Structure 1
Amino acid sequence: MKRASRLLAAIAALALTAAPLALGTSPAASASPKPPASAPGVEYMAKPGDGAQRSSNGKGTAEMPISPDNPAGTEWLNDCLGSSEAQAPNGHVYNRFKWCQEWEFQARYYKKVDGKPVLKGTNTIKFTAAAIGYNDTRATRVFFRAKTGQVHYDGWNFLEKRTVAPNLKLEITPECVPGANQPTTATCGVGRSPAKMEWAQWSNFPDWVYWDVSSIGGKGEDQVAFHQWRFFMNGASPGYEQSTGGGEGPSIGIRCDSANYFNHGPKRYPHACIYTNAYPVLTYKMTENPQVGQHIRDAQNNPNSTWPQKPKDGHSKRIPGKWHVSEGLRGAPLHRVPSRYEGGTIADENERWKKSACGQNGGLNPWAPHYDATTGLPPYPDGLQCDEYPFSSTHEGASDPQWDFSVRAVDATDNTSAGSNLRKFYTNDRILMFLDDFWVNVVDG
């Protein structure tokens, strides 16, 4: 049970919960990329003190675009916006690095008459918003664009609807939610001033405006920090000081870290921010990895049919990690640990158990010390490799006393490809060691 205790301790050390909060300070300018010049026609208002806060399948982006629907991103954004969740106050977390929303904001404008506020009219803007997390910087880029022609003026008299309502100001910015930093020593900031235009300008402004929400500090070796950001929209304008135009949108959760073990080949990704409201699921396709895919399916769905044919404590074999798509349920999750090539002791232990189950130890009983010719995997032809599930780079791998495992002889090319997909998944979905739950799903196509 020592391994379970070690995992629980690691998770407990990073179990950071959100709470009603106090304003965080702005991070240094180096925490997020230097913003380009303001877009034409947009007034980026200066704040008191530069950077001061008013209150403020995965894959991130290193070089962030100035538009989320550039040619490389159009498919994801259209798909995201097509979700019913995108048409809701909290928007839709598309994957660990992407979020989107189509929603509206209303500002009710009042003027005092005989000392009492009287409603003069209501302005409404319908908008599209999106966000993409960086994978080499502790930041996420937040985009906003009014839907062309989707600004409406209701309740105004005939003259004011044409001469007053369209000329009132609307200020928009993302802000870090006060007090939501966990741990409290971490700070969250927005690297650009609010965008402010007249309502009529917003109605006809076709471009995206954007900001970088960034993070500094965190807990543990990976410097993990949880933050929340939200949109703040303010329609207050001269002569309408009693406007109820200030509005705070729902909080959107992000997690930022500075883990140094993410890479694709020589390219490393030492910092990132991801969206917390998404379950990371590694998907294998039977069209790409038919033998490994079938092995995982059998291990998850019928573990007693798999090798080794000897449960660890006499019960029916139990193997974790299944993502139950049809039932809308989740099995027990897996957790990443350092691999053998990274000096991981758990992964090394997993490898020793796997070798016993696969008959790779040599001698009179190559299945020793845990199995024999009856319980271990029968000898298999040269050219095949012994594949194991759960993976050796997981806490729940072959040596975990709480779980069973499966081994099977598979084609070497299939096994190598599946291993490569696992390593890509760890980086693309930013799976932190010991902390992140993840699951495995096998699909036909």
Structure 2
Amino acid sequence: MSHRHLRHPRTRVAVAVVALLTAAAPLSVPAHAAPKVDRQVVDDTDLTIKTTVGIRGEDIEQMRAQGRRSATPTPPAEPQHAERAAEHDWRQRVPALSLLEGQREANRQIAAHPQPARPAAEASPSPMVAAPIGEQPAAARVTECFDAGGADNGIGRIHNRFTYCARVKLVAEYWEVDNRGIPVEKEGTSTGTIEIFTQGDDKERRVRVFSRIQRDSVDYDWGPIDNLFVAPNLPLSLIAHCSEEYEICHATRGAATMPWVTWDNNTRWFYWDVYNHEVVTAGRDKLSFSRWYLSAFSDSSRYRTIRPGNSAPRLVRCDSATYFSRFDTRYPKACIFAETIPHLTYDLVSEYSDVSLHIWRAQNDPNDTYPMLAPDGVPWPRDKEIPGKFVPGDNTAPALHRITSALHPDLVQANSDHKDGACYGRPPYGHLYQLTGLPVPPDTPAQQCDEYPFASTLEGAGHPDPENPSFNFSVEAVDQHHNSVAGGKLIAYYVDDRILAWDAGLDLPYQVNDKFYVNIRG
């Protein structure tokens, strides 16, 4: 008979869950002897994945006898961080992902789990997305991520390319095992909600995985006596791992181990660093995908996890690009969360509204923008197709790709020359736009010619061929101050979201290079 546990008196907090977590270490148990439980599936959906732990009958009776003699419930213990290396390595290593495989996996997750909109508070300028990483995460950033929506379903919330959070339900079944380690009778189930907060680094190829049990989320379904004297005192261990072989990545630190009752009363975060190595990489910026996951288990001389399992792995992309900096600080290496669509948000109501309106027209009414495809009165050969519009959940829409003056001087110069031709009729390409460019060029200090796609993108005015321009761009006269502020946001965005520059030397460059979009928010 199943019973709800008798809790220490505390206020209960209702919580939702994202993906359900299992934990395990192997036990030498014949496959046919394992208890009949739901088939384990590690997936990015709301499935119940259970861990199964074996306890010898004499140990269970000893704990029950101790409980009867004490006649009082176990008080909540003070949190103690007892780290140790796992006694068993049950990880199932997986082959390294190529850039194409990694990007395809990211695209699959994006399509299956569109991320919720970013909070309105992000309309105001913010500091670096990749915040300093300490032994405890910044409380404000934890609250921002969990409160923004999406942490409790799908794949969790990828708040931005440097921040991830999730709430994951843990279900642990405990079985009595005989002297051969074979499960014979189910004793009870303990459940709790694991909180995960993970930060990508912008100076090292690593992510730091923080985790804890959400306070007051633990429940025991063992029976009225065992709920008080047995289940709360059983040990629970958490540890983070990387999925690939050691030459690809590795995780540091041993498991954090405490009794369930201590986890339930703990508010401190425990962390593990998962490093990606510069061994199996691709391209100029030494790109590599890897995956990390969290494991929970109960292993000691008295308890042994029978059924293995882990949280669904999350995908990161790491690089060693040397061209990221802000003021006097350089960011030579980084790992970002790949399962989200990078996009820059401009607001219509802002101090750069001229630029926002221009981009909105270019994305939504491209045929009403300059340069025209044909002079007035001449039938157009086709419609203009201007890329870069952000579509939530669609990572296959026509995108933008970053270029830089240092790495792509010819492409940047071509963009500038075509923009000047379309805006002012200047050589070397002004003759191409005599009848289709801006009729009245902005020639006052208060006005500037703004182009979209940006001059710092492969899709700019000079794309794809300076000798045969596509005209799939837009120019418009905007206020000089608006243009300056919007340009500053773009420069900061490239650093904040770690947008890598175009690398034509990669295999299938349009499929594996970093891309981004522009979202115009009303």
TM-score tier (shorter): 0.7 to 0.9
| Structure 1, 90-99 or 372-381: larger mean CA deviation | 372-381
Q: Report the Cα offset of residue 234 of structure 1.
A: 0.6
In structure 2, distance between residues paired with 1:53 and 1:122: 23
Q: Does 1:442 align with 2:509?
A: no
Aligned residues: 388
Q: Which amino acid aligns with 1:399?
A: G
Q: Report the Cα offset of residue 373 of structure 1.
A: 4.9
- Matched with 2:52 is none
In structure 2, distance between residues paired with 1:293 and 1:111: 65
| Structure 1, 122-131 or 386-395: larger mean CA deviation | 122-131
Q: Report the Cα offset of residue 415 of structure 1.
A: 1.0
Once the two structures are superposed, the pairs formed by residues 293-308 of structure 1 within 5 Å of their partners are 293-308=356-371
Once the two structures are superposed, the pairs formed by residues 332-351 of structure 1 within 5 Å of their partners are 332-338=398-404, 340=405, 344-351=409-416
In structure 2, distance between residues paired with 1:330 and 1:393: 21
Question: Contact 1:323/1:330 (CA < 8 Å) preserved in 2?
Answer: no
- Matched with 1:191 is 252
Distance 1:318 1:360, change over 3 A: same
Q: Report the Cα offset of residue 413 of structure 1.
A: 1.3
Question: Contact 2:423/2:437 (CA < 8 Å) preserved in 1?
Answer: no
- Matched with 1:168 is 234
Q: Which amino acid aligns with 2:478?
A: V
In structure 2, distance between residues paired with 1:95 and 1:240: 40
| Structure 1, 232-241 or 196-205: larger mean CA deviation | 232-241
Find 1:390's aligned residue among 444, 450, 453.
453
- Matched with 2:72 is none
The Cα offsets for residues 100-125 of structure 1, whole Å up to 9 and x where unpaired, read as: 11121122122224865221112212
Q: Does 1:201 align with 2:233?
A: no
The Cα offsets for residues 170-216 of structure 1, whole Å up to 9 and x where unpaired, read as: 1101111145x9xxxx5211122111111122111221111111111
- Matched with 2:81 is 42
Question: Contact 2:418/2:429 (CA < 8 Å) preserved in 1?
Answer: no
Identity %: 33
RMSD: 2.9
Distance 1:40 1:151, change over 3 A: closer
Q: Does 1:98 align with 2:166?
A: no
Question: Contact 2:448/2:479 (CA < 8 Å) preserved in 1?
Answer: yes
- Matched with 1:423 is 491
Q: Give the secondary structure class of the aligned counterpart of 1:247.
A: coil
Q: Which amino acid aligns with 1:370?
A: L
Once the two structures are superposed, the pairs formed by residues 115-134 of structure 1 within 5 Å of their partners are 116-117=182-183, 118-134=185-201
Q: Report the Cα offset of residue 238 of structure 1.
A: 3.1
Question: Contact 1:62/1:136 (CA < 8 Å) preserved in 2?
Answer: no
- Matched with 2:99 is none
Q: Report the Cα offset of residue 70 of structure 1.
A: 2.1
- Matched with 2:275 is 214
Once the two structures are superposed, the pairs formed by residues 9-158 of structure 1 within 5 Å of their partners are 41-46=80-85, 59-61=128-130, 63-71=132-140, 73-80=141-148, 83=149, 85-88=150-153, 90-113=155-178, 116-117=182-183, 118-155=185-222, 157-158=223-224
Distance 1:324 1:162, change over 3 A: closer
The Cα offsets for residues 154-185 of structure 1, whole Å up to 9 and x where unpaired, read as: 13x44433333222211101111145x9xxxx
TM-score normalised over the length of structure 2: 0.68
Q: Give the secondary structure class of the aligned counterpart of 1:349.
A: helix
Q: Which amino acid aligns with 2:352?
A: N
Distance 1:154 1:380, change over 3 A: same
In structure 2, distance between residues paired with 1:328 and 1:427: 23
Q: Report the Cα offset of residue 149 of structure 1.
A: 2.3
The Cα offsets for residues 48-107 of structure 1, whole Å up to 9 and x where unpaired, read as: 89xx99567795435213333424x25423324xx2x32236322122111111121122
Question: Contact 1:367/1:376 (CA < 8 Å) preserved in 2?
Answer: no
- Matched with 1:256 is 318
Q: Report the Cα offset of residue 377 of structure 1.
A: 4.3
Distance 1:79 1:160, change over 3 A: closer
Larger relative strand fraction: 1
In structure 2, distance between residues paired with 1:75 and 1:149: 18
The Cα offsets for residues 16-62 of structure 1, whole Å up to 9 and x where unpaired, read as: xxxxxxxxxxxxxxxxxxxxxxx96111103689xx99567795435
Question: Contact 1:322/1:333 (CA < 8 Å) preserved in 2?
Answer: yes
In structure 2, distance between residues paired with 1:75 and 1:151: 21
Q: Does 1:352 align with 2:352?
A: no
Q: Give the secondary structure class of the aligned counterpart of 2:275.
A: strand
- Matched with 1:238 is 301
- Matched with 1:410 is 478
Once the two structures are superposed, the pairs formed by residues 359-370 of structure 1 within 5 Å of their partners are 359=424, 361=426, 368-370=430-432
Distance 1:160 1:238, change over 3 A: farther
- Matched with 2:73 is none
Find 1:310's aligned residue among 361, 373, 377.
373
Q: Does 1:371 align with 2:438?
A: no
In structure 2, distance between residues paired with 1:99 and 1:374: 47
Question: Contact 2:370/2:436 (CA < 8 Å) preserved in 1?
Answer: no
Question: Contact 1:143/1:208 (CA < 8 Å) preserved in 2?
Answer: yes
Could you say which structure has the larger radius of gyration? 2
Q: Report the Cα offset of residue 239 of structure 1.
A: 2.9
| Structure 1, 123-132 or 40-49: larger mean CA deviation | 40-49
Unaligned stretches of 5+ residues in structure 1? 1-38
In structure 2, distance between residues paired with 1:329 and 1:177: 25
Q: Report the Cα offset of residue 437 of structure 1.
A: 1.8
Q: Which amino acid aligns with 2:83?
A: Y
Q: Give the secondary structure class of the aligned counterpart of 1:149.
A: coil
Q: Which amino acid aligns with 1:361?
A: R
- Matched with 1:18 is none
Q: Give the secondary structure class of the aligned counterpart of 1:210.
A: strand
Question: Contact 1:256/1:274 (CA < 8 Å) preserved in 2?
Answer: yes
Distance 1:375 1:112, change over 3 A: closer
Question: Contact 1:190/1:214 (CA < 8 Å) preserved in 2?
Answer: yes
